[in-house]
Amino acid sequence: MFLVAFVPFNSIAADIKAGKEKSAVCSTCHGDKGISAAPNYPNLAGQKEQYLIKQLKEFKSGVREDTIMASMVMPLSEEDIINLAAYYASLK
Amino acid sequence: MFLVAFVPFNSIAADIKAGKEKSAVCSTCHGDKGISAAPNYPNLAGQKEQYLIKQLKEFKSGVREDTIMASMVMPLSEEDIINLAAYYASLK
């Protein structure tokens, strides 16, 4: 007998509410509802979830370099990243 | 007598129509109206114009590394970048 285990792309289920709570520090630049007030900061509302996860991970690993974002993502766990991405993707 | 010249952030005026024409190759990944069909590609519709300019320039200079984007931005002039950013920023 064979047991086949599927590991989905994100094995952690996203928690939008937890993402919203974690987003407090992000909102300074990216806005309360993910619409940035400053021209140099991207809107995040409604952005693709997988894209956001990839960018947060790349800021964390240093693949994508940005001084501000490097320090913002430093304390984030894999779970935090998944929750934040789900939260911003859920916004209009 | 003093003459003070102001050089604005973008000295080239954006041409949204030209940006739209130039966006044909972008739409394959980023969608017809800047809403991407693929989870790994970001939506560009309504994104901040200055942010888009900065990212396109960083893909071009290699500061932001991405194999696909590197080849996409290679033929773009400063003017093309400004027009493309204005076009995507103008979309809902």
Judge contact between B49 and A39, C-beta under 8 A: yes
Burial level of A70, CB count in 10 A (0-12/13-18/19+)? middle
Judge contact between A65 and B63, C-beta under 8 A: yes
Q: Which of B41, B51, B63 lies nearest to residue A51, judging by beta carbons?
A: B41
Give the minimum alpha-carbon distance from A2 to chain B in angstroms, rounded to a whole number: 32
Distances (CA, A) of A80 to A3, B4, B30: 31, 50, 26
Give the minimum alpha-carbon distance from B75 to chain A in angstroms, rounded to a whole number: 23
B54 touches A at CB < 8 Å: yes
Span A12-62, pLDDT tens digits: 789 999 999 999 999 999 999 999 989 999 999 999 999 999 999 999 999
Distances (CA, A) of A68 to A19, A33, A71, B26: 19, 20, 6, 28
Q: HSE, CB side, 13 Å, CA atoms: give it for residue A92.
A: 1
Give the minimum alpha-carbon distance from A49 to chain B in angstroms, rounded to a whole number: 7
CB contact under 8 A, A54 and B40: yes
Name the DSSP letter for residue B76: -
A63 touches B at CB < 8 Å: yes
Helix residue spans in chain B (DSSP H): 16-22, 27-30, 49-61, 67-73, 78-90
Q: Which pLDDT value is given to residue B70?
A: 94
Q: Which pLDDT value is given to residue A34?
A: 97
Q: Which of A36, A46, A48 lies nearest to residue B48, judging by beta carbons?
A: A36
Q: Per residue of chain B (92 residues), what is the pLDDT tens digit?
A: 555 555 455 567 899 999 999 999 999 999 999 999 899 999 999 999 999 999 999 999 999 999 999 999 999 999 999 999 999 999 99
**Residue B73 structure tokens:** 């931005």
| C-alpha span between B20 and B40 (Å, rounded) | 22
| C-alpha span between A22 and A3 (Å, rounded) | 37
Q: Which pLDDT value is given to residue B80?
A: 97
Q: What is the pTM of this model?
A: 0.83
Q: Which pLDDT value is given to residue A90?
A: 98
Judge contact between B85 and A76, C-beta under 8 A: no
Query: What DSSP string runs through A24-40?
Result: TTTHHHH-TTS--SSTT
